Chain A
Amino acid sequence: MKILVAEDDQLTRQGLIDIFEDEGYETIAAANGKEALARFVEYEPDVVCLDIMMPDISGYDVCREIRRTHEAVPILFISAKSEEIDKVLGLEMGADDYIVKPFGVKEVVARIRALTRRQAHTQKSTDKRFTIGDLEVIPDELRAHRGKTVIELSLRDVSILRLLAENKGKVLDRDTLFDVCWGLNYMPNSRTLDQHISQLRKRIENDPKHPAIITTVHNAGYRYEG
């Protein structure tokens, strides 16, 4: 899933890109409104994240232009403008959500996941549900259910769980996991994978210290025993 990040502040833009890539999105960067429109036409992203105050063309105008041709693509405004009128104007322009700076990573993640769910719902995705251990994973919802308990997942979490579930009993080495779940362009870092698995276990395992769904195979990789 591709997300366009249009933000004139380079550090903020890069930080947002890191957040979204950690979540498992493919990102497209734009440093101004003009570039944002060009990238949108070129890559047709699934979600757009827009700053309002950008050089050349404002986020409002970019939003209006996108809405002329694409009614359904989710648009999230991220802006320092916190006045009520700014929010109202942004939503009137056709944005789906509005985040005021300074924001927390969790807030951005929660909002983007919500937009992704909405997008999957409107596109009637055929990404089927699957089970892994006692979890039922619903990719379109970015959620897993254990009985009545709902567990929030990222795109990458779903991708890792799906890969493990599809290769039940097999050991998946780090390269395979990186290639499939992070993409071929990702520069592997062993700690990145371990930390991600560790964080994921905290959320999906009944006992993270004695994992039952994602088990570690020393010097080889990870495996879903089934």
Chain B
Amino acid sequence: MKKRLILILGLIVLLPMSVLIGFGIMLAQQEKERAQARYERVLAGRLSDINGGIVRLIESRERELLRALALPTFEPEQIRSRVRESRLLRQLFVIAPDGTLIHPREDAILTGEERAFLGRTASLWESGESFWSPEEVATANPKIGLKRNAPLSNSYGWHTWFWGEGLRLIFWTHLPSGHIVGAEVERAAMLADIIGQLPADDFTGSPLPEGRITLMDAQNHPLYLWGSYVPDKSVNPTVTQQLPAPFSAWSLHYFAPLEGMTHGLGRSAIFNISSGLAALALCLATLAIYFYRESSRDMHEAARRVTFVNQVSHELKTPLTNIRMYAELLEKRIPENDSRTHNYVEILVSETQRLSRLITNVLTFASHRRGKLKHHPQPARVDVVVASVIASFSPALESMGISVSVEGCADRHVLLDVDVLEQILGNLINNVEKYARGATTLCIKQHQSVDTTTMTLSDNGIGIPATQRKTIFHPFVRLSNKLTDGVSGTGIGLTIARQLATLHGGTLEFVPTEAGATFELTLNTPEANA
């Protein structure tokens, strides 16, 4: 019982706890994902801010370049002077409206830098497509080439290509004269300007956790990095931001530590969920412990009551033994002709036997409740046991005017628990004695087949009301007051009789009859010699 209770209480606690833990883990996971998404959005916002600064920087540099490219003349020396004056310019070039490169011309006397420039940009001169704005491209006739279309004045743009050290930049503009003036922009100067737009070297004062921001080139080589956090090489960046044109090949990577994902964002939510679940679990466990203790107390109380009843029953046995023993000893010493005294002593003995049956019933009932009821068949004869039980009841039944008759034969040597049969018959005959008001006969019919003994006990008393026949085998059920007026009883006699019959592999049933009460008892009684 105790094990089953622990199991049930364990299930009551563990099942909801498991569901709650699973639910909590799911919630925590979702919250973590949400926190991560929020975190990434914050990081992306940070990179977007940086990107905005770079856009503004490029616009500023474009204006500066436009001013530098506004050449009054296209004299080589003037052009060279302009290059020297600007930190952004590495080399200038001029394309005539007809598409002819007029500076630096291959057939002119060029500086080493100019020749190198021609070498780097040789592929560009084969097509003027790179120096047309998107609007101009849209109106161009692809069949006749771009050169034959009039360029839109004051349009400008960027052209990028990769050569040598990496990304090369050309900024160009169309002058009102139809010339295209372009410049190879000093890459290092632009890079320095961009780096200048990036945050300080550390994250001091930043709401973000310590991380690392890396500026990567097209080949995924770091151009610049800051932040003390060193991510593992296999770790992908938390967020990535591509730089605006013309630096679209470059990108900003933000690496953030994993533990930073929930820092200040998801951790509190997870803590709240965990705290709630822990509190709920604590409540459940407390409830389970409370119920367990209450139940244990009830069980202990019941066990104490059973123990008390057992002890009282045992304590009753000693005085009962003495009363019976001395009554029987006294009987032997009474003169034979003193029939009245003999009768008194017989009553004494009979009553001690009744009390003995009562105590045995209580103890048997207690044993059954504790699951300790057992039977031990030994070779015996049913008819001998029946005769013995009838003999013990004879004085009482005779005084009530009830005659007992035994029919049939049950003289086989069978395996039988004599105590069990005595107790069953004792309880049944005791009921006749107590409840069969007006009965004059008790007929016991016995029959034996191969493995079964069947007995019916019928009296011609007032019988049992039809409405109460179903409950007579229930414990502590006694018939109506009318029937039991003036009759004591515990209400466990038939219950025990049926339990014992079941224990002996048989049954005990009430058989409806027109008059009186009839019970049919079957017992499993295999042959003793088999």
List the interface of chain A (C-beta within 8 A of B).
9, 11-12, 15-16, 18-19, 22, 80-84, 101-106, 191-192, 195, 198-199
Contacts and interface: CB of A to CB of B under 8 A. Distances in A.
B321 A102 contact: yes
Given A18-B329, A105-B328, A83 B367 contact: yes
B352 A102 contact: yes
Interface in B296-329: 314-315, 317-318, 320-322, 324-326, 328-329
Interface string B235-264: 000000000000000000000000000000
A105 B323 CA distance: 11
Contacts of A84: 372, 374, 376
A82 B372 CA distance: 12
A84 B372 CA distance: 9
Given A82-B363, A83-B367, A84-B374, A104 B328 contact: yes
A5 to B, nearest CB: 13
Nearest to B331: A105
A22 B325 CA distance: 13
A101 B320 contact: yes
B324 A12 contact: no
Given A82-B363, A84-B372, A104-B328, A195 B333 contact: yes
B448 interface: no
Contacts of B349: 104
A80 B374 CA distance: 18
Given A9-B322, A12-B322, A15-B322, A101 B317 contact: yes
Contacts of B352: 102
Given A9-B318, A84-B376, A104 B333 contact: no
Given A11-B322, A101-B318, A103-B321, 8 more contacts: A9-B318, A19-B329, A80-B315, A84-B372, A102-B324, A106-B328, A192-B333, A195-B335
Nearest to B315: A80
Contact of A15 (B325, B336, B356, B360): B325
Nearest to A82: B363
Nearest to B318: A9
14 contacts: A9-B322, A11-B326, A12-B318, A12-B321, A12-B322, A12-B325, A15-B325, A19-B325, A80-B314, A80-B321, A101-B317, A101-B318, A102-B320, A103-B325
Interface string B324-345: 1110110011011000000000
A15 B320 contact: no
A15 B329 contact: yes
Contacts of A195: 332-333, 335
Interface in B163-186: none
Contacts of A198: 336
A80 B322 contact: no
A12 B324 CA distance: 10
Contacts of B315: 80
A195 B332 CA distance: 8
A102 B372 contact: no
Nearest to A53: B314
A109 to B, nearest CB: 10
B314 A15 contact: no
A15 B332 contact: no
B318 A83 contact: no
A103 B321 CA distance: 6
A26 B353 CA distance: 29
A16 B326 CA distance: 9
Contact of B372 (A22, A83, A192): A83
Contacts of B372: 83-84
Contacts of B363: 82
A84 to B, nearest CB: 5
A19 B333 CA distance: 12
B336 to A, nearest CB: 7
Contact of A101 (B321, B329, B332): B321
B475 to A, nearest CB: 20
B269 to A, nearest CB: 61
A157 to B, nearest CB: 14
B318 A22 contact: no
A156 to B, nearest CB: 13
B336 A105 contact: no
A54 to B, nearest CB: 12
Contact of B317 (A19, A80, A105): A80
Given A104-B328, A191-B333, A81 B314 contact: yes
A102 B329 contact: no
B326 A15 contact: yes
A105 B325 contact: yes
B482 to A, nearest CB: 34
A104 B363 CA distance: 19
A195 B314 CA distance: 35
A199 B334 CA distance: 12
A102 B354 CA distance: 11
A105 B367 contact: no
Contact of B356 (A12, A19, A102, A106): A102
Nearest to A202: B336
Contacts of A19: 325, 329
Given A12-B321, A12-B322, A80-B314, A105 B376 contact: no
Question: What are the 6 A-B residue pairs with the smallest beta carbon separation, nearest first?
Answer: A80-B317, A102-B321, A105-B328, A15-B325, A101-B321, A101-B317
